[in-house]
Structure 1
């Protein structure tokens, strides 16, 4: 069996290839919005994109989005490189971290910058954000068809040929009552990313039918060899896992050589290949976090309201009653009433009436925005799989996992700067794939009671680039330039990196539950108790990390 993603291409006889697909699956009750963003390699001339959608999807449930919305989900959840500096031992207090700042909405009386009735009153960040869904007139002309015969006629009219094996690939989906989504692609409007490689715009649809299986095998006829599938699930209450393939947490909180910093993509590609060599047929869980957050450190802002609405939130809101979308703000508090009345001093009766009307409208708008922010809170799960021939015998099925988990967030400690790599149960989801580099203090200590080995953000005197580097665009990275065995300084015995340690955690599937009692976090260690790569120690890494860090400086 060849490998695949959820799309295939039809051209005029040339070989057209799809290397990767990013699929964002957003859930709310019985509604699901699905956004698919594939890449493309082939001649820069017109071609067709073919996918499948649930049977209730019609043209009015389809739209094209800006690429940046899916790119933002990718960046927020991607494996990241983190730097920690040893705080000056002669300074007092605990080390501060780059992410220790409050970005929550706390203002109770305004939006859009200032109150019309009180221009001096400031507002919280979230209340200034764009809350309108955005669509794009992309490079597609979209149609929904019901049969192979309709597709053949559609392709023939445009001079396109379906790739060999397309009819066989589509047959099981059509038999299950799904429809064919076909897009005529204007090659003059696609975004080139190098040579004859292009990144196509995302296509979004929404459905009221259950959507828990990704039709990844559909793309068999357009496979170039190895392919990568990135699945992002945004669900209100639960993290997600692949239920019909093994799913393991990515190795996280490992200390790595400084050279990894600007080459995170190459490093992670090599590490992923090593992981799959030891764990064939296994999906990686790389990120699980509340959508109001973005990890520690963040490579950018958390997902913004207009991004969540564009990815599907607007379709969910369209199904809500007006009372939920624009709730009654209720009576003002005594403090609010007094503050408003103070603004009326010296105004005429007409001006007072206008001010009151504006104030009441502002209160209604503020209540609507707060309700919107409250209902669009999700758990973002990122799942990743790279595969070749015979490594995707069935479409991946998704299911919710019980219990929140935490991993990749512990801070470096002690002289060696070792950080816990455990994945464990937690009150809220906070799992990220992070690789750490340490900057020891090199100043002469000239105080009587030094406090060494406190690791935190860069000192004020640091003049380097403060960008957070992440692993992205993996299908175009050289996968052999950075050897993980040379740059990973923490012991990971399961991958043959360093000294002997424990094995990685695995997300439990329904099949596993029949064999063993599910742990509180829904995860297990291959060889026994709960934990992640996290049960792996960092012994022996410190000295080597220290020496390499000094040479890098």
Structure 2
């Protein structure tokens, strides 16, 4: 089944299909004739034992009318199970896991050497008054109100229903203009015994601002809720109600001592540690989406792993790694493993400040699909550790390529792309030391101790997808990917001992590789055991620090209303 079938995640955030509909797992319903669509959403899942904590951030555009969001959940949620969060936490998680671009300059081969050092990051480092009952009696439609309470600007009702027609009728009778075609999509959840979390928003408690297009825009308080279920899944099918073209889905999972992948769709890792041309500095987003689309074309229907690393460390870091307080915000305080040590009102043992973050793995999964047919909900499973995208040389002297299985080791995989600048000054010493990379060389010729900092790729759903991947990458990277590239020298190739064969490669390398289409267009852990191709350059003799440029928070992908779990047939 194609990943397009995941279209249930698609912009169900729209009541009328907007030009930029985005993806999420339930749908919005608006009061009266209001028309709304989701603009940007970030989702974070935590998993420990049978407990799932789901946090989501929602932006919407539309007239300032009351509206609600409908989310299928496996159990009746209580007031203590739901809370609002500060929006900044989602930008933190997204930025840490986003694809990154690093830029290295070869240091003066004749400058006095500085001490060698190991790469960093190798391992792990409430409620208010109860709202009034709905005007239309629930019993008339076979709908039961299981619970109702208020959290922040949300008036929350937990519903159960005997059939989808009744639930559809109740929502419409209570003046919720639900998307056309939603009723049959509700049926599988009702048949499996799911409940429905309906969070109505009181816009008098929401601040609106005018967006660039003149429309009212509001950022709602992020929601967090938790529940227990044998299955770890993300319901996606309700989003079919408003599918509109290709959609992006980003899922961030914080798993206790484990990374996750999907169990019912193919998995592939993004090609990483590719050398790119200098122009990518100004067009990192278009480069990355062209690489992503190329990878998906070579692995139809796949969900792509872009990041899997300890939550307590990163290398290179666009900003500091997550700390204990942020993990508590995202739900560590309600996980079974930490109930005693992080219980409400209990002082936190100082020793937990590092230990608990180091026990979590942050994984980022990325899918892109359309609404061609009905898909399965995403089901997640524990996956073995992998590494990749590090400035590490392997035993053959080549830079690490692809995803390398780690056995029982730590997860250290990331989408990382490199601009290298070979030394262009004089080389007048007897024994020059080539291939030492760092920040821009100092004017006095000494080696620069500054730490190169990464740029991260965000707003990917709206990035320009019209450009050719071969225009971004170096010839040897084109050979790895199986794409034709423009003629040109390898950045930094002349500066690396043992890499002379790469110096002077041109478009012919890409043309030859085109015949090998599929050569590491994407890699799975099983397919990447050797670590692979010759490096364009690089090694461990550089350091990338935690500081980095910030980027605006707008994923434009919308995973909005997420809910829980329906029984899903495991993909053969």
Q: Give the TM-score, by structure 1 length.
A: 0.71
Contact 2:439 2:449 in 1 (8 A): no
Contact 2:122 2:412 in 1 (8 A): no
Equivalent-residue separation in structure 1 for 2:468 and 2:450 (angstroms): 25
Equivalent-residue separation in structure 2 for 1:418 and 1:318 (angstroms): 41
Alignment of 1:353-502 (within 5 A): 368-371=349-352, 373-376=354-357, 377-390=359-372, 393-402=375-384, 404-411=385-392, 419-426=399-406, 427-459=409-441, 468-480=454-466, 482-489=467-474, 490-497=477-484, 498=510, 499-500=512-513, 502=519
- Partner residue in 2 for 1:81: 101
1:524 matched to 2:526? The reply is yes
Equivalent-residue separation in structure 2 for 1:210 and 1:32 (angstroms): 10
Contact 2:273 2:401 in 1 (8 A): yes
Compare CA radii of gyration and give the structure with the larger one: 1
Equivalent-residue separation in structure 2 for 1:289 and 1:232 (angstroms): 12
**1:249-283 Cα deviation digits (max 9, x unpaired):** 00100011122224322221222222223322111
- Which of the residues 136, 142, 155 maps onto 2:156? 142
- Partner residue in 2 for 1:70: 90
1:301 matched to 2:320? The reply is yes
Q: Give the 3-state SS of the residue equivalent to 2:56 in structure 1.
A: strand
Equivalent-residue separation in structure 2 for 1:468 and 1:76 (angstroms): 11
| Range that drifts further, 31-40 or 175-184 | 31-40
Q: Give the 3-state SS of the residue equivalent to 1:453 in structure 2.
A: coil
Q: Give the TM-score, by structure 2 length.
A: 0.69
- Partner residue in 2 for 1:535: 532
- Structure 1 457/429 Cα, relative in aligned 2: closer, same or farther at 3 Å? farther
Equivalent-residue separation in structure 2 for 1:505 and 1:277 (angstroms): 10
Q: Give the 3-state SS of the residue equivalent to 2:326 in structure 1.
A: helix
- Partner residue in 2 for 1:10: 29
Question: How far 1:85 sits from its partner (Å)?
Answer: 1.4
Alignment of 1:99-498 (within 5 A): 100=120, 139-147=153-161, 149=166, 152-153=169-170, 156-157=173-174, 159-187=175-203, 188-189=206-207, 194-195=212-213, 196=215, 200-294=220-314, 296-316=315-335, 320-321=339-340, 324-325=341-342, 368-371=349-352, 373-376=354-357, 377-390=359-372, 393-402=375-384, 404-411=385-392, 419-426=399-406, 427-459=409-441, 468-480=454-466, 482-489=467-474, 490-497=477-484, 498=510
- Structure 1 14/442 Cα, relative in aligned 2: closer, same or farther at 3 Å? same
- Structure 1 469/100 Cα, relative in aligned 2: closer, same or farther at 3 Å? same
Question: How far 1:211 sits from its partner (Å)?
Answer: 4.0
Contact 1:59 1:143 in 2 (8 A): no
Equivalent-residue separation in structure 2 for 1:408 and 1:104 (angstroms): 16
- Partner residue in 1 for 2:501: none
Question: How far 1:239 sits from its partner (Å)?
Answer: 1.2
**1:98-135 Cα deviation digits (max 9, x unpaired):** 97499999xxxxxxxxxxxxxxxxxxxxxxxxxxxxxx
**1:212-245 Cα deviation digits (max 9, x unpaired):** 1210122111323221111111112211111111
Instruction: Could you tell me which runs of 5 or more consecutive residues in structure 1 were left unpaired when the two chains were aligned.
Output: 106-135, 327-363, 508-522, 543-553
Equivalent-residue separation in structure 2 for 1:192 and 1:200 (angstroms): 15
Contact 1:204 1:311 in 2 (8 A): yes
Question: How far 1:293 sits from its partner (Å)?
Answer: 1.0
Contact 1:257 1:487 in 2 (8 A): yes
**1:433-482 Cα deviation digits (max 9, x unpaired):** 001001222221232221112223444568999652111122222222x4
RMSD over aligned CA atoms reads: 3.6
Equivalent-residue separation in structure 2 for 1:201 and 1:467 (angstroms): 31
Equivalent-residue separation in structure 2 for 1:233 and 1:191 (angstroms): 31
Contact 1:79 1:433 in 2 (8 A): yes
Question: How far 1:399 sits from its partner (Å)?
Answer: 0.2
Equivalent-residue separation in structure 1 for 2:404 and 2:449 (angstroms): 37
Runs of 4 or more consecutive aligned structure 1 residues displaced over 6 Å after TM superposition? 95-99, 101-105, 462-466
Equivalent-residue separation in structure 1 for 2:210 and 2:84 (angstroms): 18
Question: How far 1:83 sits from its partner (Å)?
Answer: 0.9
Equivalent-residue separation in structure 2 for 1:458 and 1:283 (angstroms): 37
- Partner residue in 2 for 1:503: 520
Contact 1:505 1:530 in 2 (8 A): no
- Structure 1 166/466 Cα, relative in aligned 2: closer, same or farther at 3 Å? same
Question: How far 1:246 sits from its partner (Å)?
Answer: 0.7
Equivalent-residue separation in structure 1 for 2:153 and 2:244 (angstroms): 23
Contact 1:56 1:209 in 2 (8 A): no
Q: Give the 3-state SS of the residue equivalent to 1:475 in structure 2.
A: helix
Task: Choose between structure 1 and 2: higher helix proportion.
Answer: 1
Equivalent-residue separation in structure 1 for 2:121 and 2:364 (angstroms): 25
Contact 1:32 1:206 in 2 (8 A): yes
Equivalent-residue separation in structure 2 for 1:388 and 1:382 (angstroms): 20
Question: How far 1:76 sits from its partner (Å)?
Answer: 0.4
